[in-house]
A = this chain, B = another copy of it.
């Protein structure tokens, strides 16, 4: 059943999220601070049993210079720089195995598949540590370090993601001028953040994105992972304002306002995990060229393979 507003209201919904005055400064400082560490991207060929693709195990320096893992997959024997897809995963997932996730490279792209610090506990494995402590937190990542914008987990993760694009571009077989980003759910939220922070992407695909419109998301669904926020505030009753002040720096709505690359988005009207109004909050505020596909009968799986097809089409048009 529908989990949110009817589509006509979705089209008009703008979100009540505020745009902090120093949002840009905060992120400029954050990225500048990270830039004190050289990217140092290293790619080592691995043999994982595939013959049509080459796969490389990549390490680069993310937030605070900490080592972040990734896979780089390319058509076997690639000799010249390729248009490239940088992918971010959903909540709980890691980069998985070298022989998984073969679509983008099989379609002819260099595929840079970034690991997520500390994640990789459900559906796929991860190989990257999250090297930071936290105050009392609800199990998961939504409230890790939420006591300040400086210590919040997603500050580290979004910085890793921005640097993943740079790390990819630093590699020989990647065509720097033709880089797109893609993600679903948390990965879609990261893609929006990167779209707001990296000025020269060729394409953005954000499928049923998470991490958008926290003020509304935290009160209209009981589904994880947004529920982690509610659970935190259920215990820390007096910190609601402080928490929402932090979250405003990490909201896809605010990144969307700053994005310029053409975006392809999807939303699902029966999605309880990323309710469609939170997706439209980002979409309606998105500053660049945009299109959105609405799946009326789907939950958080969204368009699934149809969303893959949409992404293939978008990359084919914009990265070619």
Contacts and interface: CB of A to CB of B under 8 A. Distances in A.
Interface in A173-224: 218-222
A97 B236 CA distance: 12
Count this chain's copies in the assembly: 6
Contacts of A270: 219, 230, 234
A127 B136 contact: yes
A51 B104 CA distance: 10
Nearest to A6: B219
A231 B297 CA distance: 8
Nearest to A2: B219
Nearest to A293: B237
Interface in A1-21: 1-2
Contact of A298 (B128, B137, B237): B237
A306 B240 CA distance: 14
Given A118-B135, A219-B269, A305-B96, A52 B49 contact: no
Nearest to A243: B297
Contact of A106 (B50, B128, B235): B50
Contact of A139 (B50, B121, B309): B121
Contact of A137 (B105, B118, B136): B118
A238 interface: yes
Contacts of A308: 97, 99-100
Given A102-B102, A222-B1, A270-B230, A235 B121 contact: yes
Interface in A43-75: 49-53, 75
